[in-house]
Structure 1
Amino acid sequence: MTRAHASARIALLVAAALSVSGCAPGSADPVPTVPTGSAGGAAAGPIAVIGDSMALGVNSCSDMGECPAASWALGDDPTVASVSARLAGQEGASRPHVWAAKNGGTVADAIRLADTAVAERAGIVLILIGANNVCRPDTAAVTPVADFGAQYTTLIDTVRTGLPDAQIVALSIPDLLRMWELGRDDPEATARWNASSSCRSLLADPASDAAVDVQRRAGIDETVRGYNAAIAEACEADARCVHDAGAIHALDFTSTDISSIDHFHASASGQAKVAQVAWETLAQTLDG
């Protein structure tokens, strides 16, 4: 299949927490929770996100670090309009949240994090994972496509075994090469990248047009595309999994969609674009 708030109980699992200043979820009026009811074809139960820094809103707000309010998945920032917030609007109440995400998490981490979603009996499981498998200290540490595909299949199987009726939403990895393109001519961005140890497999020598660097970046782009094909294949093997057909990867991010803190993570407007695609993907499974 293709293309697709405040909670009464939040299970928060973050293995590598950063301190967050001024980024806590907003203080909007409480919304009643719905632990049993559901919209259309969605199973009853909490809504969970299995993911990495993007799910946690890292560097999406004004301060460095995690900002769950800006999360495309479970955030409560109205400018983002997260999947959870949109679902609450449709169902008339907010489902409990399950944060099964890790800053810097890979698909191998996601397999372990899935246990949290299972333990909380999630009815909807949103998955966006894989960028950290290709964003590595060097190209030798990048996860091969075949290994990624096998691990992602294990992730889907883990969720399905523990949650036989849950709706799984498998989302493609954003176009990381596009993130580099947006910052390569910005001296501040390249300075930040050169000073950081993050994602050297893509961001090393960011301004270089030497053949070896062009080839390295092209290899990273090809790997991301291979990962996304593997995500779609694993999802299509599960009758209650829907994927976005590469729609998040195809998003045309602009400079305003990228964090001014590290020039690589999504800003709040970037999170909003991801939320829109994720919602459209889930909405296909909802009746009415």
Structure 2
Amino acid sequence: MRGQRRSRRSRAVTAAAVVVVAVLVPLGALAGCDADDGPAANGSSAERRPSPKPTPLWDTSPASIAAVGDSITRGFDACTVLEDCPEVSWATGSDAKVRSLASRLLGARNGAQSGTARSWNHAKSGARIAELPAQMTRAVATKPELVTVMVGANDACRDTVSHMTSVADFRTSFEASMKNLRGGLPKTQVYVSSVPDLKRLWSEGRANPLGKQVWKLGICQSMLVDPDVMDAAAVQRRDTVQDRVVAYNKVLKDVCAKDQRCRYDGGAVFDFRFTGDQLSQWDWFHPSRNGQQRLAEIAYRNITAKEPPA
């Protein structure tokens, strides 16, 4: 009897030990198989399953584009005097020489063959930043994968320096625009162009007598009025406009940086050295076809880059 009790006790201990081992030891180790995150039974490192690559937040080849902004995006004065010419727009135009951003990114997908629009131009000549939230709302309705923004020149181009849009109001309107977009399209990408260097445009355009006559019609008087006057007051006025443009660009950069799917151009448009060939032959201020082509090149380069501009 005593031997039988010892035998039963031994079997019970053995059974308990098996239970403990089953609880504490990974199933793969008991089976002699490599665990996903641990060493194999023979002591060699286990092969790890390749982790799926995360989907990048920035898509370098969006399938549809909507443009918002002002007269530059409408191709104003690029084809005929004092008229829009959206077919040469840097963003959505169809002109073969310009090769707009839409043409470069979408090609035949841009509605020419499919019968379905892939690009929309919601910009308006004369628009200031206060109109951008409404333009964004219209862009949301078309559900683009990319929205381009070029706005701010008209906020600095006013009748007088005192009428320029304040930096605080500029920020409020741009933040509202982004909020409108995100309210309807949380994953749509945004490409933001910097405001052009208006002082550079004055410097280049004032060499043309006809251009200066057109400027008298009321184009960007805060910068362009009395283009040949170089006294202290005129210099200060132009510098004040220039400083305001720089401040606008900082707002565009800062607000865009808070959105993971927004890419600012790094000041590329502001830094571009427009020459006579890139300016309208009617007002020597707005981009010509050649200028629109340069803007399209800048946008395409920045949008298709793996990393955003510095």
TM-score (norm 2): 0.75
More deviation in 141-150 or 255-264? 141-150
Alignment partner of 2:135 out of 113, 121, 124: 113
Partner deviation per Cα, 1:36-85 (whole Å, 9 max, x = no partner): xxxx8269763100011111101111454111111000001121111000
Matching residue of 1:85: 103
Partner deviation per Cα, 1:105-129 (whole Å, 9 max, x = no partner): 0111111111111111121101111
2-side partners of 1:164 and 1:69: how far apart?
29
Q: Secondary structure at the match of 2:268?
A: coil
Is the contact made by 2:128 and 2:155 (CA closer than 8 Å) also made in structure 1?
Answer: yes
> For residue 145 of structure 1, what is the amino acid of its counterpart?
V
- How many Å apart are 1:283 and its aligned residue? 1.0
Alignment partner of 2:122 out of 88, 95, 100: 100
Matched residue count: 244
Matching residue of 1:36: none
Distance 1:44 1:283, change over 3 A: closer
Is the contact made by 2:132 and 2:173 (CA closer than 8 Å) also made in structure 1?
Answer: no
More deviation in 77-86 or 148-157? 148-157
- How many Å apart are 1:284 and its aligned residue? 2.5
Matching residue of 2:261: 240
Matching residue of 2:192: 170
Distance 1:66 1:109, change over 3 A: same
> For residue 103 of structure 1, what is the amino acid of its counterpart?
S
Is the contact made by 2:214 and 2:283 (CA closer than 8 Å) also made in structure 1?
Answer: yes
2-side partners of 1:246 and 1:44: how far apart?
22
Alignment partner of 2:75 out of 45, 57, 64: 57
Matching residue of 1:35: none
Alignment partner of 1:250 out of 248, 271, 275: 271
Matched, 1:184 2:206: yes
- How many Å apart are 1:186 and its aligned residue? 2.4
More deviation in 151-160 or 203-212? 151-160
Alignment partner of 2:84 out of 46, 66, 77: 66
Matching residue of 1:221: 242
Ranges in structure 2 where 5+ consecutive residues have no aligned partner: 1-57, 111-116
Matched, 1:130 2:152: yes
1-side partners of 2:67 and 2:158: how far apart?
23
Is the contact made by 1:43 and 1:124 (CA closer than 8 Å) also made in structure 2?
Answer: no
- How many Å apart are 1:182 and its aligned residue? 0.7
Q: Secondary structure at the match of 1:136?
A: coil
2-side partners of 1:246 and 1:128: how far apart?
12
Distance 1:63 1:136, change over 3 A: closer
2-side partners of 1:250 and 1:167: how far apart?
23
1-side partners of 2:99 and 2:74: how far apart?
15
Matching residue of 2:11: none
- How many Å apart are 1:268 and its aligned residue? 0.5
Detail structure 1 runs of 4+ shifted over 3 Å in the superposition.
42-46
Kindly name which structure, 1 or 2, has the bigger radius of gyration based on alpha carbons: 2
Partner deviation per Cα, 1:106-154 (whole Å, 9 max, x = no partner): 1111111111111111211011111111101111110112221222122
2-side partners of 1:42 and 1:98: how far apart?
19
The percentage of aligned residue pairs carrying the same residue is: 34
TM-align CA RMSD: 1.8
Alignment of 1:254-265 (within 5 A): 254-265=275-286
Partner deviation per Cα, 1:216-258 (whole Å, 9 max, x = no partner): 0001011101111110101000010011100010001101110
Matched, 1:149 2:171: yes
> For residue 164 of structure 2, what is the amino acid of its counterpart?
V
Matching residue of 1:8: none
Matched, 1:284 2:305: yes
In terms of fraction of residues, the more helix-rich structure is 2
